[in-house]
Chain A
Amino acid sequence: MTTLSARDTILKLFRKTKGCFLSSAQISSELGVSRNAVWKQIENLRELGYQIKAVPSQGYQLVSSPDTLLPEEIQIDLETKCIGREIRYFPETDSTNLQATKLGESGAMEGLVVIADQQSQGKGRLGRKWISPPNVNLYASILLRPRILPSEAPQLTFLSAVGICRAIEQLAGLNPKVKWPNDITLHEKKVAGLLNEMNSETDQVNFVVLGMGVNLNMSVGQFPKELAYPATSLAIELGHPVSRIAFTRALLHHIDLLYSDYLLDGISTVRKAWTERCDWVGRRVEVNCHTQIITGVVQGLGNDGALLVATECGIIEEVLAGDVQLV
């Protein structure tokens, strides 16, 4: 029996006993291992942050669970069709997008979710870093294999943005806004960022990785001073921490619903939900497109997801890539 499945079995046993004692004999017979091996597994769980009381002649009692994003915790009551049926967890990795891409290249199934507690090379746009300290946030990448044209894949960006908004609304009762193309803000401060990557042939998508970083329990002091945008977290906005496990479960649930809807009916539901959460329509923005800066008034989203900006010369610019700021 692998460490992972042994851990899963013990946690399931604890959950069944609902806070009562679980004898060492019971665990060893369920796992089919010696009592000494059971003790090792319990130690293993303690290292992961589980508080387990051991009383001679009575056995073990689960006192508290850590808010660690272990697959077996997230998957409790996770009723999704596709997203998160398989979850890979890394206590620390370079970047969940890199890991998901590697797994995608070696044929991993659609719906695979890669989660890391900490990233050493969290990715932002154009080589910028996504600050990824441990124990506080969610860094996740979802692998999708949609049968769409590569030219349609950028639409999926809006899907993950809406998924995160819905999870924030459900879990924290806050009103997140979206900033084109897909930052998520609370009171004009960035709370989540998305970075998607595609692996494709000329006429077919091999896979898309939806990368997301959500600031859940990060404190003010954990944000570096030189950030390009003001940032916040759910805990800062609420004044108390949120359960990372519950948030992740809610997020996977919403993305699962949005994705199956997308495959059936296309992008219209997502676009509508996104536009409802965008309060920049009608406002003046400056778009830095690397080679030029466009200033104008936001008109909305084009069919392909481009930001429509009406410039002073009366032209509607279709922006497909760039940094947008209110002016």
Chain B
Amino acid sequence: MEIKDLKALIKIITETDVTEFEMENSEERIIIKRGPEKELVQVTAPISQAVPTAPPPPQGTVAISAPPVTESTEADDQYETINSPIVGTFYRRPSPEADAFADVGSIVDQGQTVCLVEAMKLFNEIEAEFKCKIIEILKEDAAPVEFGEPLFKVERL
């Protein structure tokens, strides 16, 4: 997002009663939190991209940060991933109206289904191979996935 757009976004948010705003696309993730005293803007972008530095907004404080490279690598070491055994389409829920098999923060038992991957009407129920906590869901619902591609970042319990 360009600086001017970010400024405009902050302006829009501050003119409302919204206290927390989050936006995510393929390139970046923007979180704006407002309290009575301060405002915190957090932009997380891929490391390769320049981290935008926004000028201070008219009021309050703004912090912009991207996770430092070293920290995220270390953090990732604690986690394991659940990978797709086949090429196909990733589904987080058994049917479009149903609840997701697992959400961020869910604790899943060994053998519990966490998602489906479909290829040519073969539905593969992906199960957790050990008891774990879902840290991050790495794919959008209904996204195509490759063989061996990580679907979930999990913490072994």
Contacts and interface: CB of A to CB of B under 8 A. Distances in A.
Contacts of B125: 197-199
Contacts of A208: 122
A305 B120 contact: yes
B4 to A, nearest CB: 30
A165 B19 CA distance: 60
A154 B85 contact: no
A33 interface: no
A127 B95 contact: yes
A154 B86 contact: yes
B87 A151 contact: yes
Given A181-B120, A197-B124, A127 B97 contact: yes
B119 A320 contact: yes
Main secondary structure of the interface of B (DSSP, over half): loop
A291 B94 contact: no
Given A290-B142, A291-B142, A126 B124 contact: no
> In which size bucket is the chain B interface?
20 to 34
A316 interface: no
Nearest to A182: B121
Nearest to A199: B125
A321 B88 contact: yes
Contacts of A155: 120
Given A127-B94, A127-B97, A290 B89 contact: yes
Contacts of A255: none
> In which size bucket is the chain A interface?
35 or more
A196 interface: yes
Contacts of A200: 85, 124
Contact of B120 (A128, A182, A202, A290): A182
A125 interface: yes
Interface of B: 83, 85-89, 91, 94-98, 118-125, 129, 140, 142-144, 147
The 5 residue pairs across chains A and B that have the minimum distance between CB atoms: A127-B95, A290-B142, A150-B85, A321-B89, A181-B120
Interface of A: 125-128, 150-151, 153-158, 180-182, 194-203, 208, 289-291, 304-306, 320-322
21 contacts: A127-B96, A150-B85, A150-B86, A150-B124, A151-B87, A155-B120, A157-B122, A182-B120, A194-B121, A195-B121, A196-B121, A197-B123, A197-B124, A197-B125, A198-B125, A200-B124, A201-B129, A290-B89, A320-B89, A321-B118, A322-B89
